[in-house]
Amino acid sequence: MANNSSNGDHQTPKKPPPPPSPLRFSKFFQSNMRILVTGGAGFIGSHLVDKLMENEKNEVIVADNYFTGSKDNLRKWIGHPRFELIRHDVTEPLLVEVDQIYHLACPASPIFYKYNPVKSQSNMPAYVLQQTIKTNVIGTLNMLGLAKRVGARILLTSTSEVYGDPLVHPQPETYWGNVNPIGVRSCYDEGKRVAETLMFDYHRQHGIEIRIARIFNTYGPRMNIDDGRVVSNFIAQAIRGEPLTVQAPGTQTRSFCYVSDMVNGLIRLMEGENTGPINIGNPGEFTMIELAETVKELINPHVEIKMVENTPDDPRQRKPDITKAKELLEWEPKIKLRDGLPLMEEDFRQRLGVPK
């Protein structure tokens, strides 16, 4: 319930949650759980849809503007009677009747989220006029408005980037972060921080049932091949026989979670009684040089590792403290990096047309 929050007294809501939609009690009501997944055509979203669709009691609606996602990721569900796909930008209001909302819509790769931080003045087609801050702020407001209107529970996929360039290591949820508010990454990390604020304000003021996941770097099949994120870059480079581009100094660390573990964690959080924020990630921590060496060893021992220039404000270290996820969700990741990379390699080889 909304008042069973995990983060202290200040989160106690003023009001009970709004009543569920009257449609649920209409003669047409079916016992199914109707679930909206925003950003469901993307990498994590499409794996989440696969898992939700396994349960025959679930009806899934995906709303996506296809900025970084693709219908191809959902092709096996298109035409299924329990599945609907809507081309929709979450910066516009959405009127649907649902019981749960997984709100993922937001470009996640730094090259995409820095592409159009506010609003492009160019005459590019609408789908590339990406608006990272608007997606995070107005998009989250719209989805909270929807949750309020229909009495749905809403889960936000926040990010480890809310910790910025962290001075506490590993990062527990109680750490408030070290974020540059005026840097090139701010549209994303400050955007997500505001989205978290909105979630808690709606929870306190309107009694909305909220869940916040702070996701740490996640990898797996279906990542965009030219996504720019480190794991997809290294795997594509190794398969193409190109040098692996380690951005200097290469000693910066990340902790990588395989996507099926992530999806299980998100569903646990949605179904459980804790608002979060809860870190969901794999605590196995690697420097970028170690990651490049592992990819080289597993995928192509002949490729070179090349040091290239980094981008501003790159966090120097990141590793989740997942004590809360273990205790409150009884969740922890199962797939080690060395086991997950080959699963991703298979998918990338198929899409690149380069057999082993």
Ligand X SMILES: NC(=O)c1ccc[n+]([C@@H]2O[C@H](COP(=O)([O-])OP(=O)(O)OC[C@H]3O[C@@H](n4cnc5c(N)ncnc54)[C@H](O)[C@@H]3O)[C@@H](O)[C@H]2O)c1
Between 229 and 319, CB nearer to ligand UDX = 229
Cα separation of 353 and 356, whole Å? 10
List the structure tokens of 190.
């400050």
Segment (H or E) for 101: strand 100-103
Taking CB under 6 A as the rule, does residue 264 contact ligand X?
Answer: no
Mask for 12-51, x = binds ligand UDX (CB under 6 A): ----------------------------------------
Residue 113: other Cβ atoms inside 10 A: 26
Instruction: Concatenate the DSSP letters of all residues of 185-250 into one string.
Output: THHHHHHHHHHHHHHHHHHHHH---EEEEEE--EE-TT--TT---HHHHHHHHHHHTPPEEEETTS
Taking CB under 6 A as the rule, does residue 233 contact ligand UDX?
Answer: yes
Instruction: Concatenate the DSSP letters of all residues of 259-295 into one string.
Output: HHHHHHHHHHHHHSS----EEES---EEEHHHHHHHH
Mask for 207-226, x = binds ligand X (CB under 6 A): --------x-xx--------
Among 131, 159, 274, 279, binds ligand UDX (CB under 6 A): 159
Taking CB under 6 A as the rule, does residue 229 contact ligand UDX?
Answer: yes
Among 39, 40, 69, 110, binds ligand UDX (CB under 6 A): 110
> Smallest gap, in angstroms, from Cβ of residue 96 to ligand X?
14
Is residue 188 part of the annotated active site? The answer reads yes
Q: Which amino acid is at 42?
A: G
Cα separation of 20 and 39, whole Å? 24
Cα separation of 256 and 265, whole Å? 14
Among 3, 70, 247, 294, binds ligand UDX (CB under 6 A): 247
> Smallest gap, in angstroms, from Cβ of residue 335 to ligand UDX?
18
The binder of 314, among ligand X, ligand UDX, none, by C-beta within 5 to 8 A per type, is: ligand UDX
Mask for 80-109, x = binds ligand UDX (CB under 6 A): ----------------------------xx
Among 35, 37, 53, 106, binds ligand X (CB under 6 A): 106
Cα separation of 227 and 232, whole Å? 7
The residues that touch ligand X, with contacts defined as CB under 6 A, are 38-39, 41-45, 64-69, 89-91, 104-108, 135, 139, 157, 159, 215, 217-218
Residues tagged active-site: 188
